[in-house]
Amino acid sequence: MSAPADLLPTDLVIDVQGLNKTFGDKHVVKDFSIQVPRGRITGFLGPNGSGKTTTLRMLCGLLTPDSGSGTCLGYDIIAASDQIKLNVGYMTQKFSLYEDLTIEENLQFMARVHGLDRRNERVTDALQHLGLYERRKQLAGKLSGGWKQRLALAATTLHEPELLLLDEPTAGVDPQARRTFWDEIHALSTRGLTVLVSTHYMDEAERCHDIAYISYGELIARGTSEEILRQVDLVTYEGEGPGVDRLGPEIAKQPGVAAAAPFGVTLHVSGTDKTALNTALTPYRRAPFVWTETKPTLEDAFIHLMAQSKDNFQ
């Protein structure tokens, strides 16, 4: 799904076409194109090694594509990469601030690196806004994962960027901290900040305005959660009963079954042909198992998409 037709080019924060990047004999990003309107939160999903981080780095000017073109924040991604860097906040997977400095000292340092005016005012505002003020004298290395991510977000947005690129920002963070982090992302979005965030968590993907799914370098699905479910067009049955989840490997081999995935003690079995899927499940429609047609989840869709993709490192 591209941006709505009535959007002007100036409403697109990201507008790139045909990006390619190769490392050695590995074609990591293949003809990647995407448009992201201003103020949107776009989820960037895909299996490990799919080129998500490489794509993010091309968008913010840290990597030069081998081919392709486009703009980010109105600047050419190749000719004006330095201008893009000044106006983008990029938060990496790994905590990259100084663990032997306090929260406040880290933010003061980042303010100086960016050459910001009103440094003390900006740092104080960031501390208060992200709930870090009471902890400002605490060493960054002593923080839990959730507080480290909150500090990283404060540092990433200190220079008031127009675009925020987040590379799996909540990996390893507990559910409560993840929810707090996402509440802040939505608050930033309401103030006009555009966010592109890579994640493996389906609940986080569902909190995005729309989703881009990249599989081994290729964009294979784009749209809102509902639009992607319509694109995939899956039929899904949920199996219940003692030990039904253990039937997954066996059922997955049956003709007409696209995916069979345990969800706790239940089993989701999906396919694109309802008749074939019912035929495949017929031998398993016996006590103590009960099968009910259910609405496919976003996770069902992505398991199906992953099964159709080929790992370009194999």
d(CA 19, CA 28): 10
The model carries a pTM of 0.84
pLDDT in tens, 199-244: 888 888 999 999 999 988 899 999 999 999 998 889 999 999 999 9
Q: pLDDT tens digits for 252-283? A: 999 999 999 999 899 999 999 999 999 999 99
CA 265 to chain CA centroid, nearest Å? 27
Q: Provide CATH code, domain 9-228.
A: 3.40.50.300
The answer on pLDDT for 93 being more than 90 is no
Q: Provide, rounded to the nearest whole percent, the portion of the chain with pLDDT above 90.
A: 65
What pLDDT score was predicted for residue 146?
85
Instruction: Assign 304 a pLDDT band (cuts: 50, 70, 90).
Output: confident
User: pLDDT tens-digit profile of 103-126?
Assistant: 999 999 999 988 999 999 999 999
The string of pLDDT tens digits covering residues 127-176 is 998 889 999 999 999 998 889 888 999 999 999 999 999 998 887 778 88
Distance separating the N- and C-terminal Cα atoms of the chain? 29
Lowest mean pLDDT across 86-100, 111-125, 277-291: 86-100
User: Do 123 and 154 contact (CB within 8 A), yes or no?
Assistant: no
CA pair distance 102, 141, nearest whole angstrom = 8
Measure the CA–CA gap between 190 and 124, rounded to whole angstroms.
21
CB contact at 8 A, 149 and 181: yes
Q: Which of 20-24, 92-96, 248-252 has the lowest mean pLDDT?
A: 92-96
Could you tell me which CATH number the domain at 235-295 has?
3.30.70
pLDDT at res. 10: 55
What are the C-alpha distances in Å from 233 to residues 204, 258, 278? 22, 12, 16
Q: What are the boundaries of each domain within the chain?
A: 9-228, 235-295
- Please give the angle made by the CA atoms of 123, 207 and 202, to the nearest 5 degrees: 115
**Torsion over CA: 145, 150, 155, 157 (sign):** positive
* CA pair distance 30, 66, nearest whole angstrom: 10
CATH topology agreement for domains 9-228 and 235-295: no
7 φ, ψ (degrees, to nearest 5): -80, 135
